[in-house]
Structure 1
Amino acid sequence: MKIEFITSKDNSLFKEIRQLQATGPKGQKARFTTGQALLEGIHLVQTWVGDPALKFLITSELGLQNPEIAEAVYDHVEICPDTRVYQLDKGLWDLLSDLVNAPQLAGLLDLPENVLNPQKSVATISGDVIILDRIQDAGNVGSILRTAAAAGFTQVIALTGCAHMWSSKVMRAGMGAHRLLDLYEGWSIQQVLSAVTAPLYATTADGELELFHMRKELIHPVAWVMGSEGHGVSADLMAQAKGVSIPIDPRVESLNVSTAAAVCLFETLRVRRA
């Protein structure tokens, strides 16, 4: 296995990694420009071991002394021999603040085509789907993706205004769920209404339906709509959906959006198994 060395913070690949770590529009621009997302840490890299989309591995001398990291690197290179492996000087790892306390391994993953062309028309999305409406917290988005994968919901649409699904923070919170999901982001409400075939159900405090009385509705494909932390589901989307309430203690104002998503998805799963 050939290892290339990076010793300077002026190295172009090192600069690219730093740009991909950026939050908000700056990080999203870097992902679109490079066509790649950053995998940080051993768990995310292990998730994509053997996938040709994982084109670059970045580690350090200390990292390669870790048996788990060495195994992941060698296993991936054996399956995908065109992978380029880079070793960073220890001082450079210290500059990657998000990686300081993690096992010293990262990867650059080629993004799916639909991520790079979010405006490309998708005729229909049939079956179950989750729609994220302007959820801005990366931890919440990543948690919902992880829950979706666990519950067997494989299609997720993020409307414009959501935290970017392939950002470093969302991917860390997703814990590898991205590889199991079909993800669409940057969509408009009109795109959703045109493409999604399942009926829309939106979580809201005053919904006309109560979640635990929806056996008849949940045995069929559904499109769960989860709204932003501060404003809920947008009025235009709510107008096309049926409101669903989750019964909670009246002394509690609301549930965190990722918790609400978990309750809805696993209630759907429970109904179908019953």
Structure 2
Amino acid sequence: MKSITSRDNPLYKEFKHLATSAQALRKAGRTLLDGVHLCQAYSQHHGLPQCCIVAEGSLHHPEVAAILANIEQQAVQCICLPDALYKALSQVEHGVGLMFVIATPAPQLPATLAVSSVVLDNLQDPGNLGSILRSAAGAGIRNVFCSIGTASAWSPKVMRAGMGAHFLLNIFENVNLAELLENASIPVLATSSHTKQTIYQTDLSKDVVWLFGHEGQGVSPELMAMASQTVTIPQQAAIESLNVAASAAICFFEQVRQQLGKSN
């Protein structure tokens, strides 16, 4: 294990740049997994990281020690940092000091939308995006398509909110959603407060594409016009609208409920 003690070390500077710049992450095609849970999830589903960074004060933490023992046996580069240098990289307060550097997954865009998927149009909030990814993975949806302008799916904030869901999903970023939806071979459903058809009255027993948009502006008119159907989630009139992540979770698990009912 290599020890770095200086902020001027070139490798540390590289880590710091990745930790503080979304643009640097995109340019490098890499991202940082911060914390034991994300590192364990990545190891379970994808294998070895490019590099492991550990805080000196966490070296003897049982879960950290187990992860280090495994990856060092397989010749993964491990870097030990003093706690102060590690904290300058991490956005997790009071967390266990373990971080993986990984190549950002870049799956090949499918030619057509033929299985249940989520399409996100200009979604801005990292917490909402991470929550939607987590709900999608929990509901058995595997493909998520993000427009240009949607929050970076592999940013540290989104990954923390996703709680490992990223590693169960195919996440496609900077997608031309109009071209994608043109090639959909299954229904495209968008939520709207201007329709009477509820999700509970809609047949969700087969695969559909779920379309969600910007937290304030919703789905763009161009994409909304491409939806096969608009549906609404019944709610009390005193509340104008639901949070987009809450709406998505309700839709996904109503689909799960109907599919389970059909199989039984």
What TM-score range do you get, normalising by the shorter chain? over 0.9
Using a 3 Å threshold, how does the CA distance of structure 1 residues 100 and 211 change in structure 2: closer, same or farther? closer
Residue 101 of structure 1 deviates from its aligned partner by 1.6
Is contact 1:49-1:75 (8 Å) kept? no
* 2:16 match: 18
Using a 3 Å threshold, how does the CA distance of structure 1 residues 77 and 197 change in structure 2: closer, same or farther? farther
Residues 177-188 of structure 1 mapped to structure 2, 5 A cutoff: 177-188=165-176
Residue 6 of structure 1 deviates from its aligned partner by 1.1
Q: Following the alignment from structure 2 to structure 1, what is the Cα–Cα distance between the partners of residues 6 and 185?
A: 52
* 2:81 match: 88
Q: Which runs of 5 or more residues in structure 1 are unaligned?
A: 115-119
- Please state if 1:72 is matched with 2:60: no
Residues 1-274 of structure 1 mapped to structure 2, 5 A cutoff: 3-22=1-20, 26-27=21-22, 29-49=23-43, 51-78=46-73, 81-114=74-107, 122-214=110-202, 217-241=203-227, 242-274=229-261
TM-score, normalization by structure 1 = 0.89
Q: Following the alignment from structure 1 to structure 2, what is the Cα–Cα distance between the partners of residues 197 and 8?
A: 55
Q: Following the alignment from structure 2 to structure 1, what is the Cα–Cα distance between the partners of residues 259 and 47?
A: 36
Q: Following the alignment from structure 2 to structure 1, what is the Cα–Cα distance between the partners of residues 19 and 168?
A: 23
Q: Following the alignment from structure 1 to structure 2, what is the Cα–Cα distance between the partners of residues 4 and 35?
A: 24
TM-score, normalization by structure 2 = 0.92
Q: Which runs of 5 or more residues in structure 2 are unaligned?
A: none
Using a 3 Å threshold, how does the CA distance of structure 1 residues 113 and 36 change in structure 2: closer, same or farther? same
- Runs of 4+ aligned structure 1 residues displaced above 3 Å come to 50-53
Is contact 2:57-2:82 (8 Å) kept? no
Using a 3 Å threshold, how does the CA distance of structure 1 residues 13 and 263 change in structure 2: closer, same or farther? same
Using a 3 Å threshold, how does the CA distance of structure 1 residues 121 and 219 change in structure 2: closer, same or farther? closer
Residue 95 of structure 1 deviates from its aligned partner by 2.1
Query: Once superposed, what is the RMSD of the aligned Cα atoms?
Result: 1.7
Is contact 2:19-2:90 (8 Å) kept? no
Q: Following the alignment from structure 2 to structure 1, what is the Cα–Cα distance between the partners of residues 193 and 165?
A: 29
Residue 56 of structure 1 deviates from its aligned partner by 0.7
Is contact 1:61-1:87 (8 Å) kept? yes
| CA deviations over 1:121-156 (Å, ceiling 9, x no partner) | 641232100011111000000000001111101110
Is contact 1:139-1:173 (8 Å) kept? yes
Is contact 1:208-1:244 (8 Å) kept? yes
Residue 218 of structure 1 deviates from its aligned partner by 0.8
Residue 49 of structure 1 deviates from its aligned partner by 1.9
Residue 189 of structure 1 deviates from its aligned partner by 2.4
Residue 160 of structure 1 deviates from its aligned partner by 1.1
* 1:117 match: none
Using a 3 Å threshold, how does the CA distance of structure 1 residues 77 and 191 change in structure 2: closer, same or farther? farther
Residue 21 of structure 1 deviates from its aligned partner by 2.6
Counterpart AA for 2:226:
Q
Is contact 2:50-2:101 (8 Å) kept? yes
User: Share of identical aligned residues, percent?
Assistant: 37
Q: Following the alignment from structure 1 to structure 2, what is the Cα–Cα distance between the partners of residues 254 and 155?
A: 26
Residue 112 of structure 1 deviates from its aligned partner by 1.9
Residue 195 of structure 1 deviates from its aligned partner by 3.9
Q: Paired residues, what number?
A: 259
| CA deviations over 1:165-212 (Å, ceiling 9, x no partner) | 011100110000011001111112223224432211001111352111
Residue 13 of structure 1 deviates from its aligned partner by 2.8
